[in-house]
Chains A and B, each alone.
Chain A
């Protein structure tokens, strides 16, 4: 099927089989490999991207559902020279180790901060419940999200 979607600000017209998942479009067709696949049951969150401004697991979005949407991936939120405050906070707080869950943990965290006011330790932990990290024990991820939330609020 023919679909049109905006990915990281660029309009893309693609011809893909109907059963193609958004994560495969991103990884295999567009070669945006910062979005990962960590499970086959929509549990791990390693494929999290923003679809029309909200965090979704791209392993559960079909091509047809992605048609006409705007998708933002880790490659679209900052660059090595100009990091998004969430990216910077993850580094400063040592909120990543192997890095595999990191891009999508960052995407989930940005959604959390942008759509929730008054975050605290507990609400950050609850808000990140859909993303597994096996390395960090989440301690430093929580610190990073709270730190970035302050900076993002100051910027806004």
Chain B
């Protein structure tokens, strides 16, 4: 049985509980408890490493200890002689088998009109290493221990080269990739440079700010893993792996990497223990594993240890930015100019090129009417792990720039930061709103979220709370961030015109079974988001069938026709919309069947609440009865196929634009420099909400990651390219006692262009919170800027009047 605890689209706080709506207890808007929980809370989840296939053997990768080096010799003799080692395979073996490089899926055009420059990225190193931890060889053995011993016995000769690590000087350094001068993948720009320069020159006030957006290491708690199985009798390859998008994995491995034809490659992403972006990408390891399974004719399993995750999962963020905001005498923003150097790491990861461009520059209008915006981005190679999408992907970086500089501007102008923002916000009657940076926002009511957030945090009471803190020798600060994001990627024509290698629609199939239950297939993938529950709510609501009669299938290219997967808060807006379209087709066909059975005209058949009824009669049929008739078509229209199963591909018309206000209040211990987030309010407009319980959970998790970025987390390399933060002992993930309870509220304007009116909620928490926290920290300290993370040491030095020691 499904259980509903409550529902509310405008629940004010998540800690105060949710109020029931009194509508369909399991339909849209109800806080249905998650059905997937039953297996997770009892230890019955089935993650990749839990799967065991008869005869499986184990892979361990030999990884480069150097960040930049020529590989002159790989001697596998001793490794092969290690007991129970089956095979040692190298990049040369892979090349000989015709396995290609890992492609970047998004070709960014440079400002001069030429294509970006993308180096070849062989899954296993062939002759040159470009980051510490890059895989050089794969060792396969009967046990993990034997594979480790074998890996230790592989002798690799390296000629170490100068590592290019520092982002600020990388463009003036020697080339990492031959022929890619200045280590520049691209120089990209958006907006009107001349108009922006002119508006800045004539502005009454200009606020200038230099910012770093710290490198983050995603750290999903489940490490990446892969299990490759090859059936020599059929030529079928099956890859179980920790993926957010198994169909994309299959497409890339088939079309670009040449692992196997698409129909001979099945990719299964079973239960996946968190992704946050890091499991979108097509990595070396699963590529090597499925290929090796064919080579050794045994199932091959690899599970990363956490050290490997740190070294070889794609990292996030890592920008250096200079921004200038021009304001007229009345307090109106007149221009924003941004220059960003974005670290792409050693190679262009799957979506790495698009994150600091199309997902960043396009968001720099924020919630404001700023008429002139220009952004220039240099995408730079360094000898570090590839950088790609991490929760928010470009949008947290954009929000950080806009909301930090707006906050500083308010301080310089001695205006209330909330009121300066309010003055410049796009108004509800101005939608659709064309920004100067390409996007057209469809709908929003930004002041509503701002006002609700100000109320929830008791903004007016802050000065009294600050006095109490000061009396204790502490420093209290408050900071806002009014963010916007573009989600629901993406209109395919637009994405492809901008260089995407694939369309960004989503597929869905709704299958009425003969007995009236429903099996739903989606190309989206759930790795914590709760699709098995929310997608069932959507279809249950649309078709008027019981929630418990709807099963949701995802994550297997052998069961689901196609899909683009889950990232960019797109699942519900795009994948959910596909299910609505498929359900509409079910209803349309059902109407024909029902009309025939009720001996009426199709046009006279209405569908509501799971029943087809013939207008002006007392005749009606349930959708279950119609489904049975479709599969047992004795009395059935001659011109209609039997069966009741429909597919849809939904291609969005626009991005969706979730937006809201996050406010952080911090207290800084005057003696230790420890920053505590004492109050945190997030008010978000996600459009229609399907399941408030799940939405609030998504916000909590995102905010936690954003607070982690602001106060705790940073990925650091030393000047030789050694990762200094290579373990959970060195990289500071938020623990329970680092975080406060969160107050979460929502406001609602419905997305205008998808059938559910939804916008997406997965990333907002991580997008608004870093700027809110850092605005609060700088407010508390009375300084213009503190680089993230605001560690106790850094803050303590500021409190002592000393400049922060440069961190690595």
Closest residue on chain A to residue B729 by CB atoms: A41
Whether a CB of chain B sits under 8 angstroms from the CB of A75 is yes
The answer to whether A98 and B737 have CB atoms under 8 Å apart is: no
Contacts of A133 in B (CB 8 A): 221, 736
Contacts of A9 in B (CB 8 A): none
Among A1-32, those with CB < 8 Å from B are 27, 31-32
Whether a CB of chain B sits under 8 angstroms from the CB of A150 is no
- Measured in the bound complex, the distance between the Cα atoms of B573 and A64 in whole Å is 53
The answer to whether A34 and B44 have CB atoms under 8 Å apart is: yes
Min CB distance B537 to A, Å, is 14
The answer to whether B528 and A135 have CB atoms under 8 Å apart is: yes
The answer to whether A36 and B47 have CB atoms under 8 Å apart is: yes
Among A122-152, those with CB < 8 Å from B are 122, 124-126, 128-129, 131-143
Contact among B15, B272, B276, B700 for A137, CB-based, below 8 A: B700
* Count, chain B residues at interface, CB 8 A: 61
Contacts of A96 in B (CB 8 A): 37, 40-41
The answer to whether A134 and B37 have CB atoms under 8 Å apart is: no
Whether a CB of chain B sits under 8 angstroms from the CB of A73 is yes
The answer to whether A135 and B729 have CB atoms under 8 Å apart is: no
Contacts of A103 in B (CB 8 A): 40-43, 45
The answer to whether B271 and A132 have CB atoms under 8 Å apart is: no
Contact among A41, A97, A100 for B701, CB-based, below 8 A: A97
Contacts of A75 in B (CB 8 A): 42-43
Min CB distance B29 to A, Å, is 16
The answer to whether B733 and A134 have CB atoms under 8 Å apart is: yes
Among A29-67, those with CB < 8 Å from B are 31-41, 43-44, 46
The answer to whether A33 and B43 have CB atoms under 8 Å apart is: yes
Min CB distance A129 to B, Å, is 5
Among B628-664, those with CB < 8 Å from A are none
Whether a CB of chain A sits under 8 angstroms from the CB of B529 is yes
Closest residue on chain B to residue A87 by CB atoms: B41
- Measured in the bound complex, the distance between the Cα atoms of B43 and A74 in whole Å is 6
The answer to whether A40 and B727 have CB atoms under 8 Å apart is: yes
Whether a CB of chain B sits under 8 angstroms from the CB of A115 is no
Whether a CB of chain A sits under 8 angstroms from the CB of B33 is yes
Q: Mark A83-100, 1 if CB is under 8 A from B, else 0.
A: 100010011101011111
Known: A91-B34, A91-B41, A135-B701. A44 touches B737 (CB 8 A): no
Counting contact residues on chain A (CB < 8 A from B), the size range is 35 or more
Closest residue on chain B to residue A128 by CB atoms: B736
The answer to whether A139 and B273 have CB atoms under 8 Å apart is: no
The answer to whether B306 and A40 have CB atoms under 8 Å apart is: yes
Known: A33-B43, A125-B737, A126-B737. A134 touches B274 (CB 8 A): yes
Contact among A34, A38, A80, A140 for B45, CB-based, below 8 A: A34
Whether a CB of chain A sits under 8 angstroms from the CB of B588 is no
The answer to whether B45 and A139 have CB atoms under 8 Å apart is: no
Contact among B38, B219, B276, B729 for A80, CB-based, below 8 A: B38
- Measured in the bound complex, the distance between the Cα atoms of B737 and A122 in whole Å is 7
Known: A94-B33, A98-B222, A124-B736. A137 touches B701 (CB 8 A): yes
The answer to whether A73 and B306 have CB atoms under 8 Å apart is: no
The answer to whether A33 and B700 have CB atoms under 8 Å apart is: no
Min CB distance A75 to B, Å, is 5
- Measured in the bound complex, the distance between the Cα atoms of B220 and A136 in whole Å is 12
Contact among B33, B221, B223, B739 for A138, CB-based, below 8 A: B739
- Measured in the bound complex, the distance between the Cα atoms of B42 and A79 in whole Å is 6
Whether a CB of chain B sits under 8 angstroms from the CB of A113 is no
Contacts of A137 in B (CB 8 A): 700-705, 734, 739, 742, 765
Min CB distance A42 to B, Å, is 9
Contacts of B276 in A (CB 8 A): 134
The answer to whether A87 and B306 have CB atoms under 8 Å apart is: no
The answer to whether B733 and A99 have CB atoms under 8 Å apart is: no
Among B698-742, those with CB < 8 Å from A are 698, 700-705, 727-729, 733-737, 739, 741-742
Min CB distance A93 to B, Å, is 9
- Measured in the bound complex, the distance between the Cα atoms of B694 and A98 in whole Å is 12
The answer to whether A38 and B222 have CB atoms under 8 Å apart is: yes
- Measured in the bound complex, the distance between the Cα atoms of B40 and A31 in whole Å is 16
The answer to whether B34 and A134 have CB atoms under 8 Å apart is: no
- Measured in the bound complex, the distance between the Cα atoms of B736 and A44 in whole Å is 12
Known: A34-B42, A46-B221, A99-B273. A132 touches B733 (CB 8 A): yes
Min CB distance A156 to B, Å, is 21
- Measured in the bound complex, the distance between the Cα atoms of B274 and A31 in whole Å is 22
Known: A98-B272, A133-B221. A138 touches B43 (CB 8 A): no
Known: A40-B307, A97-B530. A90 touches B41 (CB 8 A): yes
The answer to whether A38 and B306 have CB atoms under 8 Å apart is: yes
Whether a CB of chain B sits under 8 angstroms from the CB of A71 is no
Contact among B52, B222, B693 for A94, CB-based, below 8 A: B693
Closest residue on chain A to residue B43 by CB atoms: A34
The answer to whether B42 and A98 have CB atoms under 8 Å apart is: no
The answer to whether B15 and A143 have CB atoms under 8 Å apart is: yes
Contacts of B220 in A (CB 8 A): 98, 100, 134
The answer to whether A99 and B306 have CB atoms under 8 Å apart is: no
- Measured in the bound complex, the distance between the Cα atoms of B742 and A31 in whole Å is 38
The answer to whether B697 and A94 have CB atoms under 8 Å apart is: yes
The answer to whether B39 and A99 have CB atoms under 8 Å apart is: yes
The answer to whether A99 and B735 have CB atoms under 8 Å apart is: no
Whether a CB of chain A sits under 8 angstroms from the CB of B616 is no
- Measured in the bound complex, the distance between the Cα atoms of B727 and A87 in whole Å is 30
- Measured in the bound complex, the distance between the Cα atoms of B42 and A78 in whole Å is 7
- Measured in the bound complex, the distance between the Cα atoms of B304 and A37 in whole Å is 10
Whether a CB of chain A sits under 8 angstroms from the CB of B603 is no
Contact among B44, B221, B729 for A132, CB-based, below 8 A: B221
Whether a CB of chain A sits under 8 angstroms from the CB of B527 is yes
Min CB distance A104 to B, Å, is 9
- Measured in the bound complex, the distance between the Cα atoms of B727 and A79 in whole Å is 35
Known: A44-B728, A96-B40, A128-B736. A39 touches B306 (CB 8 A): yes
Among B21-80, those with CB < 8 Å from A are 33-34, 36-47, 49-50, 52
Q: Which residues of B contact A (CB under 8 A)?
A: 5, 14-15, 33-34, 36-47, 49-50, 52, 219-223, 271-274, 276, 303, 305-307, 527-530, 693-694, 696-698, 700-705, 727-729, 733-737, 739, 741-742, 765
Subset of 9 A-B contacts with CB under 8 Å: A46-B221, A90-B41, A91-B33, A103-B43, A128-B737, A133-B221, A135-B528, A137-B742, A142-B741
Not counting A44-B221, A78-B42, A99-B45, a sample of 18 additional A-B residue pairs whose C-beta atoms are within 8 angstroms of each other reads: A38-B222, A75-B42, A87-B42, A91-B41, A96-B41, A97-B274, A97-B528, A97-B698, A98-B274, A132-B728, A134-B221, A136-B697, A137-B700, A137-B701, A137-B765, A138-B736, A139-B700, A142-B741
Q: Which residues of A contact B (CB under 8 A)?
A: 27, 31-41, 43-44, 46, 73-75, 78-80, 83, 87, 90-92, 94, 96-103, 106, 121-122, 124-126, 128-129, 131-143
Closest 7 CB pairs of A and B: A34-B43, A99-B40, A100-B273, A137-B704, A98-B528, A97-B528, A74-B43
